[in-house]
Structure 1
Amino acid sequence: MFTAFRQRQYQADNPLLEQRRRDEEQTYTLTLRAQRFSTLGLTPALSLRHQRVDSSVDWLYSYQRNTASLKLERRF
């Protein structure tokens, strides 16, 4: 499991929005590997990721995203 937190503060006010943008981002990633299904040196891995961005310009830049990916990994 991997967790990341990030804050971004923009230096200038946006003239259209009349405010300074500030974002807080949280990312959580979980990767599950199935070693017993390895073949030809390739191991299947399932990655699940949740990302959440909270912005001071909420209606335009805030969002939540969930992604899943299935990949074949080779370590050497």
Structure 2
Amino acid sequence: MSDETYKARYWRYYSEQEEECDTLDEAVAFLSNGWERGNLSEIAVIGPDGTTALSGERLHQRMMSLLGT
């Protein structure tokens, strides 16, 4: 992927990992789906410029909104 990607950071099996996504919405959806399945715990979404785009309560609220809860 290019440098214009978002990185969804999460914990899985006691290890911090990340998934590259094309958009902020795709990164939030990735984290939401993994959280719903019990496969991961969200940390943050990092923007293409390397800054934190979403984290904490704002990220959690966006994930719950996407899941309809």
Same structural fold, with TM-score higher than 0.5 when normalized by the shorter chain: no
Higher RCO (Cα < 8 Å, 6 or more apart): 2
**What's the TM-score, normalizing by structure 2?**
0.25
**What's the TM-score, normalizing by structure 1?**
0.23
- Specify which structure has the higher proportion of helix: 2
